[in-house]
Amino acid sequence: MAEATSTRTILITGAGSGFGRGAAIELTRRGHSVIGATLTEEQAESLASEGVEARKLDITDDIDLAAAAELEVDVLLNNAGRGQLGPLATVPMDKVRAVFEVNVFGTLRITQAVLGGMQRRGRGRIIIVSSIAGVFSGPLSGPYAMTKHALEAMAKSLRAEMEPYGIEVCKLNPGPYATGFNDLMVDGVQELVAAGTAEGELAESTRVRMLGNQLDPSEIVDTMVELCTAADVPFETFKPDDILDRYGLAAR
């Protein structure tokens, strides 16, 4: 992907840690005007110490979303997300609702907040961070995978709807990368399954599947930077390049 020549104003959600933090720092280093949106004030202060314009912007908070609607951004990188594993037969509904509130409803709400300005200007780019879980779901991954499947539908519909306005929509599907996000998900499932049960055995195999071969997150940071700055981008990007083969999925 060839990089555009002009600098851009880029809003990155979930910039308090992991991929989002890395991308915010690198894009700022390259001279772009980055707004790093974090869940907490403490995260914003930490990110600001790296030279990034950081602010607390919770994509589920009405006040924060109203403030976001006043921003003029060229690119929105929808990176904020929440993890949740659990057996669908017994997982508490409040946990399912919580992960949908962030991953699906929050992502759509922040997207709606910035789209008005993009439509008026006749340009913009929306990047949706999905996951390999957007096209694959294994045991205990249902609560999380359902939200990522929803983002796949969001990206496809939004792309067609925004094309007449000159607004690009693309998505990124990472596999397992070592940011700590997957570790928290796997550790959290232990409270929802009983040792010695079928679900307990699945929890252990899920730990091996999700944590056994985690990759260097710098690959996703670099990919995010490219998607934010390239003159043209593909609709979907899977990383690593062979991730579909690893999960036994047919070439798309």
Name the residue ranges covered by the structural domains of the chain. Answer: 9-244
Q: Mean pLDDT for the chain?
A: 95
**Given a cut of 90, is residue 204 above it in pLDDT?**
no
Looking at residue 7, its pLDDT comes to 92
Question: Topology of domain 9-244, per CATH?
Answer: Rossmann fold (3.40.50)
- Span 165-173, average pLDDT: 98
Residue with tokens 């907490």: 40
Give catalytic status of residue 177 as yes or no. no
Retrieve residue 17's tokens. 């840690």
User: Contacts from 71-74 at CB under 8 Å and sequence distance 24+?
Assistant: 71/9, 71/11, 71/35, 71/114, 71/117, 72/9, 72/117, 72/121, 73/9, 73/10, 73/11, 73/35, 73/114, 73/117, 73/118, 73/124, 74/8, 74/9, 74/10, 74/123, 74/124, 74/125
Catalytic residue among 144, 165, 177, 247: 144
Looking at residue 32, its pLDDT comes to 98
User: How do strand 53-56 and strand 236-239 relate by DSSP bridges?
Assistant: unpaired
Looking at residue 19, its pLDDT comes to 98
**Given a cut of 60, is residue 177 above it in pLDDT?**
yes
81 residue type, one letter: G
Percent of the chain having pLDDT more than 70? 98
**Given a cut of 90, is residue 2 above it in pLDDT?**
no
Provide the pLDDT confidence category of residue 5 given band limits of 50, 70 and 90: low
Over the stretch 16-56, which tens digit does the pLDDT of each residue have? 999 999 999 999 999 999 999 999 999 999 999 999 999 99
Looking at residue 252, its pLDDT comes to 55
